[in-house]
Amino acid sequence: MHLNAKSGEPSDPKTPSTVSDSDASRPRRRFGIGVLLAVVILTLAATLGGVAAWQAYQRPAPAPLTAISVVDDAGRTVTVPSIPSRIVVLQPSAMDIVYRLGLRSDVVGVDCGAPAVGGLSADYAPWQIQNWSLSSLPCITWIPSLDLQGIVALDPGLVIGSTGIEVSALATLQDSDHIPSLYLNPSTLLGISVDVEMVAKLTGTTTLGASLVQQMSSELGIVQSTVGNASLVTSIPTVLVTFYDDPTGYYTFGPGTFGNDLMVTAGASNIAGNDTYANQGEISGSYVLAANPGLIVYGTGFGRTLQNYSAGPYWSQLGAVQAHHVFGIDATYVAEPDPTMVLVGLPTLFAIVHPGVTLGG
């Protein structure tokens, strides 16, 4: 787990231009009635045969393969000459989309951390590795830099990278190695739906994509209507959602991020929601102490447990800790901007923030 826009339609079959076989400059000849009759009969037969041939020629031909283009989250135009059958996926959030679109069999490589930091398990949770059958796939390291040669060797028709992957590396693959490379980096939950539509368009899975987007839209609508119902949600608590810690502070989300939008949509007030500094690095223990969140939600997995967070600065002095308003959540649900965040993470966070309130009333 690491953090930090549609359907191409085939062009119409080309209709061939008509070509006249007549020649006005040909000299005229006189014919006897017998010859003339024969000419008329032959001409009629040729005409009828020509009509049949022309009608057959006019039958619509199969639509040709056509290049498909989208504009990704970095503002780059990404074009595939035809539907790709080999895809390299970089980051779990991108893999979640690819898997849900039924494209797992087309994946020929995925990202992983350097062997020293755990390889595949440094990037993917155990349940992701198992559910998506990732262990058998070639692993592309991206720390300290993306292994471009390893990707080129896999001969992909499309590379999909998400938050955490450097845009410059994807640009090199596309511009220098001529491999279409898509960058996904949504700043809102609705942006995740846009990303799904982009991937679906490039991979020829627009029907499945539309269905997935509809599921996400439905879940969003249910949560938003519940939060907006004053008879159900009577207060908006302040919250710290932290997905990682270190000895000097806690990592969370600032304004303009999918994480902040996740909290707001779930009916919570992010203590760092107006602080862009939170998007650049950790916030200090003293920062959290001064903000005094009424609720703390910490991400689990990737070696992080409550024990890790409780060793953080000022932890025992935080009011939420003292009131036992501290809850764990699978870090992938809050740190990876993908359909699972909307379909599972959002209702899970809502249930933590508003215990006892039923979604949809």
Say how far apart CA 138 and CA 109 lie, in whole Å: 5
Say how far apart CA 222 and CA 217 lie, in whole Å: 9
Mean pLDDT of the chain: 86
pLDDT at res. 12? 36
Q: Is the pLDDT of residue 9 over 60?
A: no
pLDDT at res. 116? 82
pTM for the full predicted model: 0.82
pLDDT band at 161; cut points 50, 70, 90: very high
Which of 15-19, 240-244, 302-306, 335-339 shows the lowest per-residue confidence on average (mean pLDDT)? 15-19
The architecture CATH gives domain 68-185: 3-Layer(aba) Sandwich (3.40)
DSSP string, 106-143: GEEEEEE--GGGTTHHHHS-HHHHHHTT-TTS-EEE-S
Give the tens place of pLDDT for each residue, 312-353. 999 999 999 999 999 999 999 999 999 999 999 999 999 999
| Residue from 248, 252, 260 nearest 314 by CA | 248
Say how far apart CA 272 and CA 260 lie, in whole Å: 8
Give the residue carrying structure tokens 């511009």: 175
**Can you name the CATH fold of 232-353?**
Rossmann fold (3.40.50)
- Quick one: tokens of 283? 């916030």
* Residue % of the chain over a pLDDT of 70: 82
Q: Is the pLDDT of residue 55 over 90?
A: no
Task: Name the segment(s) of the chain with CATH classification 3.40.50.1980.
Answer: 68-185, 232-353
Say how far apart CA 111 and CA 146 lie, in whole Å: 9
Say how far apart CA 72 and CA 3 lie, in whole Å: 17
Contacts of 241 (CB under 8 A, 6+ apart): 252, 253, 259, 262, 263, 268, 270, 297, 298, 299, 334, 349
Neighbour tally for 189: CB within 10 Å? 24
Instruction: Please tell me whether residue 246 adopts helix, strand or coil conformation.
Output: strand
Which of 36-40, 111-115, 199-203 shows the lowest per-residue confidence on average (mean pLDDT)? 36-40
Mean pLDDT of the region 23-46: 35
Give the tens place of pLDDT for each residue, 251-296. 999 999 999 999 999 999 999 999 999 999 999 999 999 999 999 9
Give the tens place of pLDDT for each residue, 108-150. 999 998 888 889 999 999 999 999 999 999 999 998 899 999 9
Give the tens place of pLDDT for each residue, 240-253. 999 998 889 999 99
Mean pLDDT of the region 64-71: 85
Q: Is the pLDDT of residue 56 over 50?
A: no
Say how far apart CA 110 and CA 91 lie, in whole Å: 7
Say how far apart CA 332 and CA 229 lie, in whole Å: 28
pLDDT at res. 13? 34
pLDDT at res. 20? 35
Q: Is the pLDDT of residue 45 over 70?
A: no
